[in-house]
Structure 1
Amino acid sequence: MTTASHMEPDALPVAAPRAADPGDGPDTSDSLFSRLPFLFSGHTDPTGLLNLTGLTGRPPRPDRPAPTTNQPTQPDQTSQPSQTSPTNPTPPPTYPPPSQPTATPPPSQPTPTPQPLQPTTDQRTPRVFDGWALDTCNAPSQETLRAWQDAKYRAIGVYFGGRGRYCRQQPNLTPDWLRATDRLGWGVLPVYVGSQPPCVVGKHRRRFTIGDHPWEQGVAEGRDAVRSARRLGIAPVSPLYLDIEAYRPGATACGRTTLRYIRAWSREVRRHGYLAGFYGSTGSGVRQVDRARAAGVPDLPTVMWFARWSGRPALYGEAALSRRAWHPHRRIHQYAGNVRETHGGHALKIDRNRVDAPVAWIR
């Protein structure tokens, strides 16, 4: 997701013990939320995210217009990423409240005023964030986050684990940092950079490719993602986003291997009570996962984070995704990358994202 020129990869692979491969059989893990205690009789899920057996729903609401900015836009490309009471059924608040569907978006609606993510203690359902997010390779200091409070961003992607992540050293990324970030009103998007496709485009990624047993490897790394999330205080029902970088779309065998790994990782993460998210390029991984969804393949991710650096956010205008899929509240568009921004005297190199999707619950 973030630039790699100065970043050190994690050189330790995750062991891949043998695991049963259910192939294309029934996806029993998709019903995992029915086994969690917060789903009691009569409970309704306003986010729609607990119904994991289907990835389609009501027609999506229109996108908000792109923000006004004096930063240069990036050329259109398909990702070379830079890296309450238990009896109270009131749902957690979202920021800002989703707008009602209309035939076309308002022609001159102003950019929404940035506000902190509203606090809530109801951890029975996913915590939806609707607004602007950044991701950057190293988790920034709390001083920097406070300096950025007047910027439009109210969520941040953090690279919390995986053998393929660039920023091996994360001095700020601790349970205390996550709790402080949450208290400041920032949503957290946890990103796991695991093994990469055998035909991955980036040469620096080829040290960390998926091996001969993609299902077993996906299970092992899904389990590693859960362990890493728990150590940091990222609670169940949170999303964990698997980062798969751009790969050659015409490589059929490579695509099959990659999809099996994605499915196994997603199934394992979901089995432990987390939401399985996916980040990828619209020209390869995103397109392949959406085609698998259309074909009825099980064990797919629940939330789609797609990279197309067009310079303009378009949650429901992406040609690689069906407009009737991956909603409600299941999309993130990374629309610009490797952009340097300064707020309050603190500069960061970031990727820009428009989000209508879950963020993490922090213990």
Structure 2
Amino acid sequence: MRFLGPAALTAASLVLLLATDGSVADLGSALDAAPDPARAAAVATLGGRPAGDPGAVPGAVPGSIPPVELAAAEVAHAAPPAAVPPQAVPPQPVKLARRVLADPGWTERREQLPRQLFAGAGFDACSAPALDTLKAWRGTSPYGAVGIYISGAQRACDQSRLTADWVRQAQAMGWKLIPTHVGLQAPCSRLARKPHHIDPARATQQGRDEAATAVRALKSLGLRTGSPVYLDIEAYPRGDRACSQAVVDFAQGWTQALHKAGYYAGFYSSTDAGIADLAAAARAGSSPLPDAVWYARWDDRPTTTDGAGALGGDLWALHQRIHQHHGNVQESYGGAALTIDRDQLDAVVAR
């Protein structure tokens, strides 16, 4: 999962100014002239910390996972560092229509559906790691969960290791799994490596179709009902209402079909693209929406409590968040090296 939004591109230019010119005064002028999101991103890149603490308000998006008591046997917990106030200025939301799809029986089914929650550090890698690597990392690394790309026509890397036996052995070691699906992308996406896009006229049905593919993969890997699968929507330029609405419609079809099959729906995107649009849809009253969100904001802050400045305490706040906070880093434990993205979890994982 890789993202670089418009604000981040501007921020990179500002940081380059400092690296090449060395002038703090020039950098300050450039920051003052930059748009708010770019200025905040540049400050984050340079290690700046704004003052103030916004706090949080309990609550959850309609259709969310209900509050639970986290038993020690159910949740492996690694306490994250103390929260730091968010550095990013939330993007201005696109006004989206309220759209409600039938989701019959989900509220009752959800109450009976087994689920596995995990709170702590995790990582995702482009290919499922070798089992020997997972064995070397287990107990020597800070991580307890690993993202796996189980399905989707636009996965970037080979998944030849990813079999039902791999899943069985990884879980037997104690690893928690984060299933992910990479299919159609936003209509306005500009990613050359993912050329297949959502059709706004058929977005809801396409979301259902992608969910059906993901369910087949979950079953083939031996992942049981009550598992989630996270829909990977890479960053896209915002401001196009039709594009944003298509992404939300797609996510609603995805959620509806997964609920019908007995699985939780997850959604991955960057905070200034898909996550911002999903939040706008939630506040408009659209449903059903994904049960958990995995948001990318590479701010080096391993916490889920503030939503990286993009999610308030009223949205996906009840053990429903994963934060991808650092990308493309190589780490080595027990003599085994991997290139990974770092994540902090407080969310449902596979069973």
Q: TM-score, normalised by structure 1?
A: 0.68
Instruction: Note the C-alpha offset of 1:256.
Output: 1.1
Whether 2:329 is the aligned partner of 1:339: answer yes
Q: Among 65, 75, 84, which residue is 1:94 paired with?
A: 75
Whether 2:311 is the aligned partner of 1:321: answer yes
CA offsets per residue over residues 168-216 of structure 1, 9 Å max, x none? x3121000000000000000000001100011132222x2111241111
Given residue 320 of structure 2, which amino acid in structure 1 is its aligned partner? Answer: R
Structure 2: state its 5+ residue gaps.
Answer: 4-59, 85-111
Structure 1: state its 5+ residue gaps.
Answer: 4-50, 59-89, 108-122
| Partner of residue 151, structure 2 | 161
Counterpart mapping for 1:165-204 below 5 A: 165-167=155-157, 169-204=158-193
Counterpart mapping for 1:270-289 below 5 A: 270-289=259-278
Kept in 2: contact 1:195–1:208 (CA 8 A)? yes
Seq. identity, %:
38
Q: Among 227, 238, 254, which residue is 2:227 paired with?
A: 238
Given residue 242 of structure 2, which amino acid in structure 1 is its aligned partner? Answer: A
Kept in 2: contact 1:313–1:354 (CA 8 A)? yes
Given residue 347 of structure 1, which amino acid in structure 2 is its aligned partner? Answer: A
Q: 1:191 to 1:94 in 2, by over 3 A?
A: same
Instruction: Note the C-alpha offset of 1:124.
Output: 4.7
Given residue 126 of structure 1, which amino acid in structure 2 is its aligned partner? Answer: R
Provide the rounded CA distance (Å) in 2 between the counterparts of 1:57 and 1:127: 13
Whether 2:201 is the aligned partner of 1:217: answer no
Provide the rounded CA distance (Å) in 2 between the counterparts of 1:319 and 1:98: 20
Counterpart mapping for 1:66-105 below 5 A: 93-96=74-77, 105=82
Given residue 231 of structure 2, which amino acid in structure 1 is its aligned partner? Answer: L
Given residue 95 of structure 1, which amino acid in structure 2 is its aligned partner? Answer: A
Provide the rounded CA distance (Å) in 1 between the counterparts of 2:237 and 2:264: 27
Provide the rounded CA distance (Å) in 2 between the counterparts of 1:350 and 1:98: 21
Given residue 339 of structure 2, which amino acid in structure 1 is its aligned partner? Answer: K
Q: 1:55 to 1:322 in 2, by over 3 A?
A: farther
CA offsets per residue over residues 82-102 of structure 1, 9 Å max, x none? xxxxxxxx8952112889xxx
Provide the rounded CA distance (Å) in 1 between the counterparts of 2:250 and 2:83: 41
Q: 1:199 to 1:160 in 2, by over 3 A?
A: same
Provide the rounded CA distance (Å) in 1 between the counterparts of 2:152 and 2:83: 41
Instruction: Note the C-alpha offset of 1:257.
Output: 1.2
Whether 2:241 is the aligned partner of 1:252: answer yes
Given residue 157 of structure 1, which amino acid in structure 2 is its aligned partner? Answer: G
Q: Give the number of the structure whose residues are more often helix, by fraction.
A: 2
Provide the rounded CA distance (Å) in 1 between the counterparts of 2:113 and 2:240: 41
Question: SS at the partner of 1:248?
Answer: coil
Provide the rounded CA distance (Å) in 2 between the counterparts of 1:146 and 1:93: 22
Provide the rounded CA distance (Å) in 1 between the counterparts of 2:2 and 2:339: 9
Q: TM-score, normalised by structure 2?
A: 0.70
> Between Structure 1 and Structure 2, how many residues are aligned?
264
Given residue 357 of structure 1, which amino acid in structure 2 is its aligned partner? Answer: A
Kept in 2: contact 1:337–1:351 (CA 8 A)? yes
CA offsets per residue over residues 92-115 of structure 1, 9 Å max, x none? 52112889xxxx9599xxxxxxxx
Counterpart mapping for 1:49-68 below 5 A: 53-55=62-64
Q: 1:56 to 1:249 in 2, by over 3 A?
A: farther
Given residue 189 of structure 1, which amino acid in structure 2 is its aligned partner? Answer: I
Given residue 208 of structure 1, which amino acid in structure 2 is its aligned partner? Answer: H
| Partner of residue 352, structure 1 | 342
